[in-house]
């Protein structure tokens, strides 16, 4: 077990010219023995005097956005060989769990640059990189800010924090070939007016892995099981699926994982007065157990399955039609993966490809040693114009190469391409409730099951169900399409 080591130059908390001089500290183990990193971006409580004087809220009300004491709940991380990064600046001052330039133009007396993101859902809620309100909806400022105020906070607090975090992550990756970032947060016990669940009581813990896209499901399940074994009620991704940090640093297919943990504040603090309550000691002990267990996990759990180096992705070409027709005909004849009962010919395959191009979507082919081994495409979900931002995915893999990661690579490529093309939702219509391979593939890449339509098709002299799954693409419904 390691002892705690801190850099004196980073742990001082001073103000210079009314601003925060040292925006963070890193609590480092004597020797890092695990690829796990802990970060507390919202527990900072160093409120600059200039910020407090510009606010119409009293100091306690300002702290309602703060994840108070969270950095202390995880303070034992270095004892188990893991670094702990702690922000000193308060979330209400600058929020490092946002994009660097999410700003509300109504907060400023001067014009914002064109490149600033002024339309995200976070901005509309008043909770951008520089917040307009605290989490209970109370307005912070008595008068408008200048863009230079926000720019100073982002340059002096936000960017140094993320530079430090990125450095820790890359150093860890270089040493271990992987990393797991645990982003540590707390949540109000009851949903506030700016939340998705206003007025509703919340569970003990929420794990956010961006619907499986920032952390492998195995790791998320591991953490959930530890917490449930400790007696906590845990849910995934509701109401918090993860913020900028998990989305930006979590790439599980590249052995880079990020998981957000939200702790119900009623478990450990008086939310009205921002003081610890009688439950603090128990929660601190349990989270120390969690930290120790996570730091001891098998590194192999963080390593993505090795892919065959000879599998490649490219766009469909007309010469591919015969090979694709052969693969597809197999599924038409032998499964309910397709509800067609007569396989289309090569000319029809070409016609369908052209309709996908006309729609503006993607059609991708997988090759193995120069031979086509699978294909995937996105088509119109429904024909009417209001559905134009939504696509339906289709994936078929040569049955002779199943289990080699072809389907995963095809679906990842299709999601990436459709996101780049500006689509906002992807729907999977999976034939047969027993099609576990397809359901699990979509789950691994972040799809959520929305419904099962019973006995919707009739094939092979039997009724067949379909499973409907959905994945938001890009900004999803958090902003309006252009």
Q: Which CATH number covers residue 326?
A: 3.40.630.30
pLDDT value at residue 13 = 38
| Residues 319 and 215 both lie in one domain | no
- Please give the C-alpha separations between residue 475 and each of 97, 250, 362, 482, in angstroms, as whole numbers: 16, 17, 19, 12
Q: Is residue 250 domain-shared with residue 323, that is, in the same domain?
A: no
Assess if residue 138 is contained within a domain.
Answer: yes
Nearest of 260, 261, 317, 308 to residue 286 by alpha carbon: 261
pLDDT at 6: 37
Q: Are 285 and 405 in the same domain?
A: no
Q: Is 478 a member of any domain? A: no
Has residue 86 been placed in a domain? Answer: yes
Of 359, 331, 340, 346, the C-alpha closest to 423 is 359
Residues 334 and 431 in one domain: yes
* 55 part of a folded domain: yes
Rounded alpha-carbon distances, angstroms, from residue 71 to 75, 102, 298, 353: 6, 25, 25, 54
Concatenating the DSSP letter of every residue in 161-199 gives HHHHHHHHHHHHHHHHS-EEEEEEEEE-SB--TTSSSTT
Residues contacting residue 355 through CB under 8 Å, at least 6 positions apart:
379
- Report the CATH number at residue 267: 3.40.630.40
Mark whether 30 and 144 lie in a shared domain.
yes
423 and 456 fall within a common domain: yes
Domain limit, last residue, from 302, 337, 366: 302
Check residue 17 and give left, alpha or beta (phi > 0: left; psi -120 to 50: alpha).
left
Which pTM value belongs to this model? 0.65
pLDDT at 196: 63
Does 482 fall in a domain?
no
Q: Is residue 166 part of a domain?
A: yes
Q: Is residue 481 part of a domain?
A: no
Domain count, the chain: 2
Same-domain status, 247 and 376: no
Nearest-5° Cα angle at 1, 177 to 218: 40
Same domain as 409, residue 366: yes
Same domain, 147 and 246: yes
Q: Are 410 and 372 in contact (CB under 8 A)?
A: no
Any domain includes 477: no
Residues 196, 264 within the same domain: yes
Q: Are strands 234-236 and 256-264 parallel, antiparallel or unpaired?
A: unpaired
Q: What is the dihedral angle through the alpha carbons of 393, 238, 41, 110, rounded to the nearest 10 degrees? A: 70
For tokens 């705690």, the residue is: 4
- Cα(308)–Cα(404) distance, rounded to whole angstroms? 7
Structure tokens of 460? 């092979």
Give the CA count within 13 Å in the CB-facing half-sphere of 256. Answer: 16
The DSSP letter of residue 430 is E
Residues with Cβ within 8 Å of residue 286, at least 6 apart in sequence: 230, 231, 232
**pLDDT of res. 420:** 92
**Does 239 sit behind a cis peptide bond, omega within 30 degrees of 0 on the bond before it?**
yes
pLDDT computed for residue 10 by the predictor: 35
The span from the CA of 93 to the CA of 44, in Å, is 10
Q: What is the DSSP string of 118-140?
A: --SHHHHTT-SSS-SB-TTS-B-
Of the residues 256, 278, 302, the one at which a domain ends? 302
Residue where one domain finishes, among candidates 302, 336, 363: 302
- From the list 114, 115, 103, 117, the residue with the least C-alpha distance to 146 is 103
Pair 256, 250: CB distance under 8 Å: yes
The three-class DSSP label of residue 465 is: strand
Taking the chain (482 residues) in consecutive chunks of 10 residues, what is each chunk's mean pLDDT?
Answer: 35 42 92 97 94 93 93 97 97 95 95 91 89 90 95 96 97 96 96 71 92 88 94 90 93 93 97 95 97 93 65 94 96 92 96 96 92 96 95 93 83 93 95 80 90 93 93 89 78
pLDDT value for 237: 85
pLDDT at 370: 84
- Judge whether 25 and 48 are in contact, CB under 8 Å: no
Looking at the fold, whether 74 and 140 belong to one and the same domain comes out as yes
Contact present, 142 and 179 (Cβ < 8 Å): no
Helix (H) or strand (E) holding 357: helix 346-359
Domain of 419, in residue numbers: 311-472
Among 270, 140, 147, 248, CA closest to 194: 140
Please tell me whether residues 211 and 339 are part of one structural domain.
Answer: no
């Amino acid at each position: 077990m390691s002892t705690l080591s801190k850099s004196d130059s980073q742990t001082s908390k001073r103000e210079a010219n009314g601003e925060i001089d040292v925006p963070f500290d890193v609590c480092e183990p004597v020797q890092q023995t695990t690829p796990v990193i802990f970060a507390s971006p919202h527990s900072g409580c160093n409120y600059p005097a200039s910020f407090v004087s510009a606010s119409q809220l009293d100091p306690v009300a300002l702290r309602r956005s703060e994840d108070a004491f969270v950095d202390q709940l995880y303070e034992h991380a270095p004892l188990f060989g893991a670094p702990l990064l702690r922000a000193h600046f308060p979330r209400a001052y600058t929020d490092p769990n946002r994009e660097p330039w999410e700003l509300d133009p109504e907060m400023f007396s001067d014009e914002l640059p064109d490149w600033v993101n002024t339309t995200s859902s976070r901005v509309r809620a008043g909770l951008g990189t520089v917040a307009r309100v605290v989490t209970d909806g109370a307005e912070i400022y008595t008068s408008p800010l200048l863009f230079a105020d926000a720019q100073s906070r982002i340059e002096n607090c936000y960017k140094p924090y993320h530079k430090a975090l990125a450095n820790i992550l890359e150093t860890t990756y270089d040493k271990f070939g992987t990393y797991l970032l645990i982003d540590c947060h707390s949540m109000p016990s009851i949903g506030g007016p700016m939340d998705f669940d206003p007025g509703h009581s919340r569970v003990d813990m929420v794990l956010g892995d961006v619907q499986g896209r920032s952390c492998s499901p195995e790791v998320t399940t591991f953490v959930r099981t530890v917490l449930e074994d400790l007696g906590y009620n845990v849910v995934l991704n509701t109401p918090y699926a993860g913020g900028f940090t998990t989305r930006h640093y979590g790439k599980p297919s590249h052995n880079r994982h990020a998981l957000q943990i939200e702790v119900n504040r009623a478990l450990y603090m008086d939310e009205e007065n921002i003081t610890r309550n009688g439950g603090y000691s128990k929660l601190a002990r349990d989270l120390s157990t969690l930290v120790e267990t996570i730091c001891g996990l098998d590194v192999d759990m963080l390593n993505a399955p090795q892919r065959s180096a000879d599998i490649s992705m490219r766009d469909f070409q007309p010469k591919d039609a015969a090979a694709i027709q052969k693969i597809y005909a197999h599924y038409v004849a032998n499964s309910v993966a397709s509800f067609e009962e007569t396989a289309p010919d090569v000319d029809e395959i070409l016609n369908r490809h052209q309709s996908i191009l006309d729609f503006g979507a993607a059609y991708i082919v997988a090759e193995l040693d120069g031979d086509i081994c699978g294909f995937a495409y996105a088509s119109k979900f429904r024909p009417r114009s209001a559905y134009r931002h939504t696509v339906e995915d289709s994936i078929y893999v040569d049955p002779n190469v199943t289990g080699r990661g072809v389907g995963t690579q095809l679906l990842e490529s299709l999601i990436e391409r459709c996101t780049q093309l500006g689509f906002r939702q992807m729907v999977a219509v999976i034939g047969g409730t027993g099609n576990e391979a397809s359901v699990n593939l979509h789950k691994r890449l972040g799809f959520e099951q929305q419904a099962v339509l019973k006995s919707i098709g009739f094939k092979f002299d039997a009724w067949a169900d379909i499973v409907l799954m959905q994945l938001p693409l890009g900004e999803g419904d958090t902003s309006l399409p252009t």
